[in-house]
Chain A
């Protein structure tokens, strides 16, 4: 595949957008550490991905999803994170892609799992600096432009509208009734995190459903779970926990569909045998 063709694939779109965000955020914050961290995260992700593929005896393919995972990790982890934390986060993310699988496809979004475990094990600082959390509010326009382009490419509008609509509605209610006293989620840098998360992590095709109805349920479920966690406990893990629950729903849905189709094919087989007799 030529570079021009690859750029038009969903992975090409995401990689291009994330690299642009990396550059904008680095220039905006006048900090080159983020770029250094991105090199570390991408390098580790690609190496672990290649090793896992070799161990699992899978066919060679370009490790573009590992590059995306590395970029997402580096854009979310604080630029002052140590090399050790970045490496561990990338390793956990890629391992989850090969260990927590159903029919060779990852059950959970690798970057979300890596970042969630990184908070739990290493108390890693996650600033979402690559979502322009420290830059002026107008930079959110970049998130919207890139986000809409990707959502359109992967055909996930029902999902993101369900997710953003439900999240904002619940946050409105939390704010209006003053539950938990949290008003931050609708303001930078949290709104930046929500938008980046919704557009770039939630829309990951292997870990999210394809059908419109399932997309809507997935979006609502992720939003409800995440916002409840935010309202009850605050912190920064609410988005990941929401996505883990959404991913579980998607996995169960696939499993049920697979079981149903298996039992259907068994019935057809049995009928065939009876006719033959």
Chain B
């Protein structure tokens, strides 16, 4: 069979590149919006019972974290994970994956919230073959803990 003429190869390559570039730039705004959505600028404490009052009345020693449920986000090139971490008296009492938007199966990281409860910190053991999901989860918990930190 005859090989494609070099001129046609260049022409077709240029056409495919043009379609790609149009797609890339026309979805740029949407991609930026997604990134912004994944980095909420405000403190997302949801259930704290007036932490400043609770601190001064009940805890003579300054606690490390505020009480309440805090949302954290972890993301990488393979997607994002949002977690809700509940803290009571400096103890992590509940961790939930509130949004799983990775391009992998959620079942890979389903055991990680329990590990956080056990370890009482964001460090979890890496799930073999699910490094990106593990990383995103760990970053999300760390982000939530950062949100919960007393200044």
Contact = CB atoms under 8 A, between A and B. Distances in A.
Partners in one complex: yes
Contact of A236 (B4, B15, B103): B103
B30 A175 contact: yes
A178 B30 contact: yes
A125 B127 CA distance: 10
Contact of B12 (A123, A161, A178, A188): A161
B16 interface: yes
A133 B77 contact: yes
A169 B78 CA distance: 22
Contact of B16 (A78, A125, A168): A168
B34 interface: yes
B57 interface: no
Max chain B Cβ within 10 angstroms of own Cβ: one of A77, A82, A133, A184: A184
A206 interface: no
B116 to A, nearest CB: 20
A31 B44 CA distance: 37
Contacts of B27: 172, 175-176, 183, 186
Interface in B42-63: none
Interface residues of B, number: 34
A183 B36 CA distance: 14
Interface in A117-132: 122-125, 127
Interface of B: 1, 3-4, 8-9, 12-13, 15-16, 19-20, 22-24, 26-27, 30-31, 34, 77-79, 103-105, 107-108, 126, 128-133
A77 B104 CA distance: 12
Contacts of B107: 123
Contact of A176 (B8, B12, B26): B26
A165 interface: yes
Interface residues of A, number: 41
A82 B78 contact: no
Contact of A80 (B8, B16, B26, B131): B131
B129 A123 contact: yes
Given A134-B77, A165-B16, A184 B103 contact: yes
Contacts of B16: 161, 164-165, 168
A171 interface: yes
B19 A82 contact: no
B26 A82 contact: no
Contact of B30 (A157, A183, A211, A234): A183
